[in-house]
Amino acid sequence: MGKKKFVKAITSRDEDFAQWYTDVCRKAELMDYSEAKGFIIYRPYGYALWENMKNYLDNSFKKTGHENVYMPLVIPESLFLKEAEHVEGFAPETAIVTVGGNEELQERLIIRPTSEVLFCNHYAKVIESHRDLPKKYNQWCSVVRWEKTTRPFLRGSEFLWQEGHTAHATEEEARKEALDMLDIYEDLGKNLLAIPFVTGVKTEKEKFAGAVDTYTIEALMHDNKALQSGTTHYLGTGFAKAFDINFQDKDGSLKSVYQTSWGVSTRLIGAVIMVHGDDSGLVLPPYLAPIQVDIIPIMQHVDGVLDKANELKKSLEALNIRVRLDDTDKSPGWKFSESEMRGTPLRIEVGPRDLENNQAVIVKRYNREKITFKLSDITESIPSLLKDIHEAMYDRALKNIEENTREATDYETFKKIMNENAGYVKMMWCGDEACETKIKEDTKATSRCMPFDQTPIGEECPVCKKKAKHLVYYAKAY
Amino acid sequence: MGKKKFVKAITSRDEDFAQWYTDVCRKAELMDYSEAKGFIIYRPYGYALWENMKNYLDNSFKKTGHENVYMPLVIPESLFLKEAEHVEGFAPETAIVTVGGNEELQERLIIRPTSEVLFCNHYAKVIESHRDLPKKYNQWCSVVRWEKTTRPFLRGSEFLWQEGHTAHATEEEARKEALDMLDIYEDLGKNLLAIPFVTGVKTEKEKFAGAVDTYTIEALMHDNKALQSGTTHYLGTGFAKAFDINFQDKDGSLKSVYQTSWGVSTRLIGAVIMVHGDDSGLVLPPYLAPIQVDIIPIMQHVDGVLDKANELKKSLEALNIRVRLDDTDKSPGWKFSESEMRGTPLRIEVGPRDLENNQAVIVKRYNREKITFKLSDITESIPSLLKDIHEAMYDRALKNIEENTREATDYETFKKIMNENAGYVKMMWCGDEACETKIKEDTKATSRCMPFDQTPIGEECPVCKKKAKHLVYYAKAY
């Protein structure tokens, strides 16, 4: 019993990636569906992933002078309608409260799909002088966007996120903020999620409703689809003008503030699953993992086995390593499968024969490598093993991007590559939305971003043959 | 300029307590009103208070084996209607989503006023065996309860809170959980908020809709009104039966789980304001305070003053003390007022004359005591000063309860004391709701709790003269 039964329930990743993904979400107990369509339950293990991301980011935000606030859940409809582009982008997907305290409301309340208008309305009240700037606020909350097709963590009617909203005295400072926050997101990928991102600027068609420029971090999933994993926006003065957010500058003149907003969400959990996971389940990068080491005793009824397992546990805990000892009455094979399904980076097996030989077996989850260690060496080896695993997982993901990024200088090649299910294809672009639309119709691929390194790979847009203005990363995307 | 102007805007506490409270909330920049009535904005300083409470509690919850989850924002109406008592309690104050994605919804969605039904529905799915128990889940979120009259932090249409929901195999274990969580709330009061609570059991009339027993922590405000500051509930098997939460016990029989729920909210911010605050504004207990020490330089343009202030700041930060140096161009008097308004526990004043004398003045916010310290002694003195202040604030609040708790053995005395605006009055009670109702009609006081120490102070209920069953704390309450 044990192992086989547990693993059997999971679809193979290469057979049906979408089903594999859903299986992992369910079997690793990350989430469950609720009775309200599109609204999911974040189970303890799934929520713990979000908490670890949240703690990491919150610390980065605070170190860079940001303050947390909490804005209301609802936006009166009249306030919501103030910034035209923004409304156009979000109105179709809002949920609306029309009844409160058994009475029909006089004004409908929009559940926040994002909180730009709430922050703007507040900033208009509290900003008067250049001395009040910059304002660098962030909030952790859930937002609601009505979605027809939903997938756990990737697209849902409700998701958890952080949204930063800042106001500055100069365009330069605001633009820097939008890029600085992109750096913080990249750092999160690099140092916590073991996910390398392709970064750049969104095209006009793909940018945020109301932004001047949208910057993005794009991750590449195992099925070669891209996942937009976070965005930062330079908003210019559009919102400031709609909401009258003015300040008296040092020279006495009244000016509009320059704004940014930026956010990442529980979608990052989806990225972690689809970048690192395999046919046995989740594979977690060590610093993100809620449990970093599973200790699994073999023949735990034999004298000394559980004692040694507990001793190991304590010595690892003393190093602040997150460790679990599975001393339940399940079989070791079953425990191995569970540990694999939950993606614990390291598993330590210790049984009577190991004790005799004064050793234990350590198995790395991400590549299944088995190493035999002297018992006395284990504890001090774990921190560097975790570090190595983190780096190897990052490198593997980076290599995957490199191997699945190609260039196209003519449109036939582009279409051929896209139909072969390539990852990213780099191609020059004229800047016309028509070409993006045609590409999407022909191949389902969309422009992911214009990378910061704009070294040209041709002179014309292969779609329309007009002069090329930008280098673009295209991919099919979630 | 400076000091006077800033302070002038605040109503005296004894003149108009309600106005004083609102003034402090606004002037200390804890909150602002939003465009949606009853929904407030938690500004950085107010949110920082909540974050500190949250971190403290979250740590306590995790240490005692609780796990965080996140349940959906909305509850389908049919699910909400499953537990009769619960519905009766909450239905009148719900906000309801009726439109999503531009379409009228087929089923209305209730915005959670509390999440019992969501947890219960989930528990019914994931609990099968005694091996799955206990389940000890908590979530941090906001809830919505439609309120006609609202006051910042005390009563609002939306508030932030934590709600714990647990399921156990035995009544004994569940009852213990409800009491253990009450201990954790008391500990929060004692060690972070410097607020002593009167604790006990709620009467049938005052208990939570759907609970068997409700336990409460009650704080006494400066105006002698009580504030229910948190509750824990033993739910018995009522929800388990309504939601079919069954488990197979060790003996093979199918049983209902025993449940608890418990929560504290941003109302605790209101408690801190009204227990400790004074006519100069907020007075924060040191371990809760986002800023523990304000360093205010005097004549900061004089050589050496800012250097010394910065040096002090660094040495305090090295001890993990949260310190701010106010080197803006405001006057020292203005800075003092701001520091007082924001309730910073300690203020260090350092100017040229202090430097000459190799000293600085430290002022304690809670009692305005001024102490002169040798510069070389300051840093190492601060931790114990903070500790002393914390204890003194707790003791002062405790003394206030003791001085404002009286006993009544006849009803005329009770009414007289209540009309004199007493705090708590202890009186025996027959157990009939009619007497509670009469007391409320006659005096506006309500039963706050039946304390755990039930040493009787009489044999009959002074209201109806029937045999007394319980000792009760009565008070006017928020």
CA dihedral A277, A281, A285, A287 (to 10 degrees): 150
Could you say which of B230, B249, B276 is where a domain stops?
B276
**Could you tell me if residue B421 is inside a domain?**
yes
Cβ–Cβ below 8 Å for B36 and A75: yes
In DSSP notation, A262-276 reads: EEEETHHHHHHHHHH
Tell me the chain B residues in contact with residue A66 when contact means C-beta distances shorter than 8 Å.
none
**Could you tell me if residue A431 is inside a domain?**
yes
Q: Is the pLDDT of residue A2 over 50?
A: no
Residue B427: both structure tokens together: 């009186």
Q: What percent of chain A has pLDDT over 70?
A: 98
**Could you tell me if residue A20 is inside a domain?**
no
Could you say which of B390, B418, B441 is where a domain stops?
B390
How much is the average pLDDT of A364-388? 96
Same domain, B264 and B307: no
Cβ–Cβ below 8 Å for B160 and A70: yes
**Could you tell me if residue B399 is inside a domain?**
no
Same domain, B370 and B415: no
DSSP state of B348: E
Same domain, A69 and A178: yes
Give per-residue pLDDT as tens, A96-149.
Answer: 999 999 999 999 999 999 999 999 999 999 999 999 999 999 999 999 999 989
Contacts of B102 (CB under 8 A, 6+ apart): A91, A92
Same domain, B203 and B332: no
Position A83 confidence tier, pLDDT thresholds 50, 70, 90: confident
Domain count, chain B: 3
Buried b (16+ CB within 10 A) or exposed e, A360-390: bbbbbbbeeeeeebebeebbeebeebbeebb
**Could you tell me if residue A9 is inside a domain?**
no
Where are the extended beta strands (E) located within A28-144?
A: 31-33, 40-42, 67-68, 74-76, 95-100, 103-111, 135-144
Q: Is the pLDDT of residue A7 over 80?
A: no
Same domain, B135 and B59: yes
Position A87 confidence tier, pLDDT thresholds 50, 70, 90: confident
A9: left (phi over 0), alpha (psi -120 to 50) or beta: alpha
**Could you tell me if residue B396 is inside a domain?**
no
Per-residue pLDDT at B103: 95
- Smallest Cβ–Cβ distance between A34 and the set B35, B72, B100 belongs to B72
- Domain CATH code at residue A312: 3.40.50.800
Same domain, B307 and B270: no
Contact A475, A423 (CB under 8 A): yes
Q: In whole angstroms, what is the distance from residue B167 CA to residue B424 CA?
A: 35
Same domain, A133 and A214: yes
Per-residue pLDDT at A8: 58
Where are the extended beta strands (E) located within A237-326?
A: 246-248, 254-256, 258-265, 293-297, 323-325
Cβ burial, residue B183 (10 Å; 0-12/13-18/19+)? middle
Same domain, B329 and B301: yes
How much is the average pLDDT of A5-17? 78
Could you say which of B243, B276, B309 is where a domain stops?
B276
Determine the structural domain holding residue B368 and report its residue range: 293-390
DSSP state of B421: T
DSSP state of B112: P
Residue A106: both structure tokens together: 């006089």
- Measured in whole angstroms, the distance separating CA B147 from the mean position of its chain's CA atoms is 19
Secondary structure percentages of chain B, helix, strand, coil, to 5? 40, 30, 30
Same domain, A175 and A128: yes
Same domain, A313 and A370: yes
Q: CB contact, 8 Å: A160 with chain B? A: yes
Buried b (16+ CB within 10 A) or exposed e, B4-25: eebbeebbebeeebeebbebbb
How much is the average pLDDT of A74-90? 88
Per-residue pLDDT at A9: 72
Same domain, B35 and B176: yes
Cβ–Cβ below 8 Å for B67 and A76: no
Give first-to-last CA distance, chain B, whole Å: 38
Contacts of B449 (CB under 8 A, 6+ apart): B198, B199, B200, B201, B202, B203, B215, B216, B218, B472, B473
Q: CB contact, 8 Å: B160 with chain A? A: yes
Instruction: Find the closest chain B residue to A44 by CA distance.
Output: B69
**Could you tell me if residue A15 is inside a domain?**
no
How much is the average pLDDT of A152-166? 97
**Could you tell me if residue A230 is inside a domain?**
yes
Q: In whole angstroms, what is the distance from residue B334 CA to residue B342 CA?
A: 12
Cβ–Cβ below 8 Å for B109 and A51: no
Position A6 confidence tier, pLDDT thresholds 50, 70, 90: low
Instruction: Find the closest chain B residue to A115 by CA distance.
Output: B41
Cβ–Cβ below 8 Å for B72 and A40: yes
pTM of the predicted structure, to 2 decimals: 0.96
Per-residue pLDDT at A63: 97
Strands B254-256 and B246-248: what pairing?
antiparallel
- Smallest Cβ–Cβ distance between A73 and the set B51, B76, B144 belongs to B144
Same domain, B200 and B103: yes
Give per-residue pLDDT as tens, A404-418.
Answer: 999 999 999 999 999
How much is the average pLDDT of A297-320? 96
Where are the extended beta strands (E) located within A83-150?
A: 95-100, 103-111, 135-144
Q: CB contact, 8 Å: A101 with chain B? A: yes
Identify the segments of chain B with pLDDT beneath 50: 1-5, 7
Cβ–Cβ below 8 Å for A73 and B40: no
DSSP state of A420: T
- Domain CATH code at residue A205: 3.30.930.10
- Domain CATH code at residue B442: 3.30.110.30
